[in-house]
C-alpha cells in the first residue's frame, strides 16, 4: 500500500507572479488569485502549510464588475452605537485606496484563521502599474490566455 507524502513546512524559495488586472472581471480574477495563493496550483499542495505562490496585482483601480454590483452597498459596523457604515464598490474604487476592493475579494476566498492570514501576506495589490518588488523577480501571469471571459468589454 502506498501512502501520500506531504512536504514538511513551507517552500524555501517562493515563486512570485505579477498580473495586470486592467479591464478584468473582479470575481474571476479574485478566484484565480485565491487559487494560486492557497497553493492549489502547486504540485506539492498541502492543506496545512503555506506553500502557495506570491501574487503582485497591478492596475487595481481599473478593474471591472458585472451587473449592478457597482451600486450595491456594502455594510460594516464600527462597534460603536449608531456605527453602521455603508459604501458602494464605485465609491471605493474612486476613493484614495482602490486596492481595497481586490484585496477584500481575494481575502473572502481564503480560509479564515492563522494560516489564511499568513497566506494573505503573499498578496500585494497596487492601484497603478508601478510596484517596488522587482527584486523578487516576478514572472508575468497573463489571464487572457486562460479564458477570454476574464477580460472583456462591459457596457
Q: What is the pLDDT of residues 106-121, one digit of tens each?
A: 999 999 999 999 999 9
Q: Does residue 82 lie in a domain region?
A: no
Instruction: For residues 97 and 88, give the distance between their C-alpha atoms in angstroms, rounded to a whole number.
Output: 13
Supply the range of the domain harboring residue 55.
16-64+97-144
Q: Give me the number of domains the chain comprises.
A: 1
Which pTM does this prediction carry? 0.86
Cβ atoms of 45 and 51 closer than 8 Å: yes
Q: Does residue 5 lie in a domain region?
A: no
Q: Does residue 28 lie in a domain region?
A: yes
Q: Does residue 133 lie in a domain region?
A: yes
Q: What is the mean pLDDT of residues 130-145?
A: 89
Cβ atoms of 150 and 143 closer than 8 Å: yes
Q: Does residue 155 lie in a domain region?
A: no
Q: Does residue 80 lie in a domain region?
A: no
Q: Does residue 124 lie in a domain region?
A: yes
pLDDT for 20 equals 94
Q: pLDDT at residue 11 above 60?
A: no
Q: Does residue 81 lie in a domain region?
A: no
Q: The domain that contains 26 carries what CATH number? A: 3.90.1180.10
> Kindly report the CA angle at 22 between 17 and 25, in degrees rounded to 5?
95
Q: pLDDT at residue 27 above 80?
A: yes
Q: What is the pLDDT of residues 63-113, one digit of tens each?
A: 999 888 889 898 999 999 999 999 999 998 888 888 999 999 999 999 999
Sheet with 123-125, strands from edge to edge, namely 123-125, 54-58, 16-20, 139-140
Instruction: For residues 128 and 55, give the distance between their C-alpha atoms in angstroms, rounded to a whole number.
Output: 15
Amino acid at each position: 500500500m502506498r501512502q501520500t507524502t506531504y512536504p514538511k513546512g513551507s517552500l524555501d524559495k517562493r515563486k512570485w507572479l505579477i498580473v495586470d488586472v486592467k479591464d478584468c472581471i473582479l470575481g474571476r480574477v479574485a478566484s484565480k488569485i485565491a487559487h494560486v495563493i492557497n497553493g492549489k496550483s502547486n504540485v506539492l499542495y498541502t492543506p496545512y502549510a503555506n506553500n502557495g505562490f506570491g501574487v503582485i496585482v497591478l492596475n487595481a483601480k481599473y478593474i471591472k464588475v458585472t451587473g449592478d454590483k457597482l451600486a450595491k452597498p456594502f455594510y460594516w459596523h464600527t462597534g460603536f452605537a449608531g456605527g453602521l457604515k455603508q459604501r458602494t464598490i464605485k465609491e471605493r474604487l474612486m476613493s484614495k485606496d482602490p486596492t481595497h476592493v481586490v484585496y477584500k475579494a481575494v481575502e473572502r476566498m481564503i480560509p479564515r484563521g492563522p494560516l489564511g492570514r499568513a497566506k494573505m501576506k503573499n498578496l500585494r495589490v497596487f492601484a497603478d502599474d508601478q510596484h517596488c518588488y522587482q527584486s523578487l523577480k516576478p514572472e508575468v501571469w497573463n489571464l487572457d490566455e486562460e479564458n477570454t471571459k476574464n477580460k472583456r468589454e462591459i457596457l
